[in-house]
Amino acid sequence: MSLITACYVYDNTKKCFLTFDDGPSVNTDEILDILKQYDVKATFFVNGRTQDIYLPMYRRIVEEGHTLGMHSYSHRYNEIYSSVEAFSGDMEKLQEFLYDTTGVWSRFYRFPGGSSNQVSRVPMQELADYLEGENIYYLDWNVSCGDATGKRLRPQQIADNVTDYVSNYNTAVVLLHDAPDKTATVEALPLIIEELQKM
């Protein structure tokens, strides 16, 4: 964890990592604008999106000091979790794409569905071992903002799901989503940061 510099330290000792999965998306620029406004760094676990509109977003993540992490190229569970070869091929494709796009060789990974997902047809330990062998550090989360549940939460509910729980951990890793339909998460972000700043 200490490898990721993009964390928010509050209360002198407690750390909070804000992490965004599934981007880039139409919301990425606004998320980056908010982070910039509050001078907060985050980690973006991204997918592979080659369309022209997305390329500057990958670069902005890097240029503005955030951590660029990987979240699989395709995000298709049935493909990436079908074999170690399929998983590694997908990971390498994303790593190279990110290097070509940003000049950064990402060393961080978040498994789609998390490292203890029940979907993979390969034992997750094998995939974890593979990443370790590649010197890639994977990171789960311990606080979820709840924006991926079926229910549409209001921004304040999303913020409360974060700020009510982060202080339970000396190192909180908060799961948020950067996806087209997650506009409530974008609206929740200033509420989350302002609440963290008060702690």
Residues that bind Zn ion (CB under 5 A): 21-22, 112
- For residue 21, the minimal CB distance to Zn ion (Å) is 4
Nearer Cβ to Zn ion, position 48 or 196? 48
Q: Is 160 helix (H, G, I), strand (E, B) or coil?
A: helix
Which tokens in the block code for residue 138?
Answer: 């994977």
- For residue 198, the minimal CB distance to Zn ion (Å) is 30
- For residue 132, the minimal CB distance to Zn ion (Å) is 21
Phi then psi for 91, rounded to 5 degrees? -65, -45
Residues ≥6 apart with Cβ < 8 Å to 63:
none
Task: Classify the C-alpha dihedral 44-47-48-52 as positive or negative.
Answer: negative
Nearer Cβ to Zn ion, position 21 or 160? 21
Q: Are 113 and 76 in contact (CB under 8 A)?
A: no
- For residue 9, the minimal CB distance to Zn ion (Å) is 26
- For residue 98, the minimal CB distance to Zn ion (Å) is 16
Which tokens in the block code for residue 198?
Answer: 């008060």
Q: Are 117 and 124 in contact (CB under 8 A)?
A: yes
Nearer Cβ to Zn ion, position 22 or 90? 22
Residue 25: strand pairing partners: none
Nearer Cβ to Zn ion, position 72 or 101? 72
